[in-house]
């Protein structure tokens, strides 16, 4: 009889709060564990703290209180010099795309593979394949300034997934594309998830959340609640507390 392997913790929030020095507290007493190969939606109104929660995970900011463990390490103890290596296992899709303006679409996507040591020709071939997949086969040599917001977003997704990261953090990855393209991009993220990547997608798109039966982390008033929904990843996702307590 086949035995189910125990899920591996990738991210653990232990009573984590975040307040920016110049502003109000944003996240309160978050308690949550995300497991390897899980697929999670992160939802909440504009300003609820979705981007902030992702920034905590890729250690752009540190918790004001509590302990956040990512890949088994206390994120607050990761030094600036260790950050590139720490983030190497992550794919990041930024809400504002952040493509390099002087590189065309192809080289923006190929860059991650070049940094990982792949030769230029192979890296560009992989990048071409992926750009075709996201519907940008005609736009390889376009600079970001000549792409629409939705096209930039698709380049950003291709760039983030090309290294097959252990963890993908996608912040509003479909915010600027039409429903059909959004659905197709989600299928790409699901493919990545099937080969073992833990995926976190922040989105406002309710229809998208309803179309895919993945667990939902919902932020409201700084608190995180967890809706496990009907998921093929049942057993790989759970929350420590159904609702985090306000501090
Ligand atoms: N660097 C910062 N300094 C001070 N306050 C900040 C900073 N970044 C974000 N905030 C505040 O934190 C709160 C949450 O912002 P965040 O960007 O995480 O929300 P969000 O859920 O991603 O919103 P959206 O859906 O609009 O992208 C907001 O009230 C915002 O003003
Ligand atoms: Mg945001």
For residue 111, what pLDDT is reported?
A: 95
**Model pLDDT for residues 11-53, shown as the tens digit of each residue:** 999 999 999 988 788 999 999 999 999 999 999 999 999 999 9
Inter-CA distances, 6 with 35, 120, 203, 234, 237, Å = 10, 39, 29, 12, 11
Segments of the chain assigned to CATH 3.40.50.300: 8-89+165-247
Which residues, in sequence order, are bridge partners of residue 68?
13
Residue 246 predicted with pLDDT over 80: no
Q: Which of 14, 10, 8, 42 is nearest to 167 (CA)?
A: 10
Residue 167 predicted with pLDDT over 60: yes
Question: 109 CA to middle of ligand 2, Å?
Answer: 23
Which residues, in sequence order, are bridge partners of residue 200?
40, 169
Element (H, E) at 92: strand 90-93
**Model pLDDT for residues 80-99, shown as the tens digit of each residue:** 999 999 999 999 999 999 99
Question: 55 CA to middle of ligand 1, Å?
Answer: 10
CA 20 vs. chain centroid, Å, equals: 21
Residue 163 predicted with pLDDT over 60: yes
Q: Which ligand 1 atom sits closest to the C-alpha of 172?
A: 27
**With contact defined as beta carbons under 8 Å apart, do 33 and 242 qualify?**
no
**Model pLDDT for residues 186-237, shown as the tens digit of each residue:** 999 999 999 999 999 999 888 899 999 899 999 999 999 988 765 444 433 3
Instruction: Choose the residue to mutate in 18, 49, 174 for probing ligand 1, maximizing ligand atoms within 8 Å of C-beta.
Output: 49
Range 8-89+165-247: architecture per CATH: 3-Layer(aba) Sandwich (3.40)
> Cα(50)–Cα(60) distance, rounded to whole angstroms?
13
Q: What is the mean pLDDT of the chain?
A: 89
Helix axis angle for 149-161 and 120-133, nearest 10°, is 130
**Model pLDDT for residues 112-160, shown as the tens digit of each residue:** 999 889 999 999 999 999 999 999 999 999 999 999 999 999 999 999 9
Backbone angles phi, psi at 103, to 5 degrees: -105, 140
Residues 6+ apart with CB under 8 A from 106: 124, 127, 128, 131, 140, 141
- Here the tokens at position 195 are 């080969």
For residue 2, what pLDDT is reported?
A: 53
Instruction: Choose the residue to mutate in 52, 57, 174, 203 for probing ligand 1, maximizing ligand atoms within 8 Å of C-beta.
Output: 52
Residues 47-72: b if buried by 16+ CB within 10 A, e if exposed = ebbbbbbbbbbbbebebeebebbbee
- Here the tokens at position 47 are 């300003």
The reported pTM is 0.91
For residue 241, what pLDDT is reported?
A: 29
Residue 238 predicted with pLDDT over 60: no
* Residue 201 per-residue DSSP state: E
């Amino acid at each position: 009889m086949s035995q189910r392997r125990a899920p591996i913790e990738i991210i653990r929030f232990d009573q984590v709060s975040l307040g920016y020095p110049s502003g109000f507290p944003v996240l309160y007493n978050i308690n949550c564990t995300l497991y390897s190969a899980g697929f999670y939606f992160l939802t909440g109104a504009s300003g609820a703290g979705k981007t902030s929660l992702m920034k905590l995970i890729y250690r752009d900011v540190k918790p004001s209180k509590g302990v956040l463990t990512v890949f088994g390490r206390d994120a607050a103890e990761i030094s600036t010099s260790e950050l590139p290596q720490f983030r190497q296992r992550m794919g990041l899709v930024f809400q504002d795309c952040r493509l390099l303006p002087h590189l065309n679409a192809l080289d923006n996507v190929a860059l991650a593979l070049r940094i990982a040591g792949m030769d230029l020709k192979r890296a560009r071939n992989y990048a071409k394949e992926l750009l075709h997949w996201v519907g940008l086969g005609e736009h390889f040599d376009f600079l970001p300034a000549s792409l629409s917001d939705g096209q930039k977003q698709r380049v950003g997704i291709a760039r983030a997934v090309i290294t097959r990261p252990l963890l993908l953090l996608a912040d509003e990855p479909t915010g600027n594309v039409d429903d059909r393209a959004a659905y197709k991009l989600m299928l790409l993220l699901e493919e990545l998830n099937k080969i073992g990547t833990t995926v976190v997608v922040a989105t406002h798109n309710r229809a998208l959340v309803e179309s895919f039966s993945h667990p939902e982390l919902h932020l409201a008033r700084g608190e995180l609640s967890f809706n496990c929904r009907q998921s093929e990843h049942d057993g790989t996702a759970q929350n420590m507390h159904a609702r985090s307590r306000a501090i």
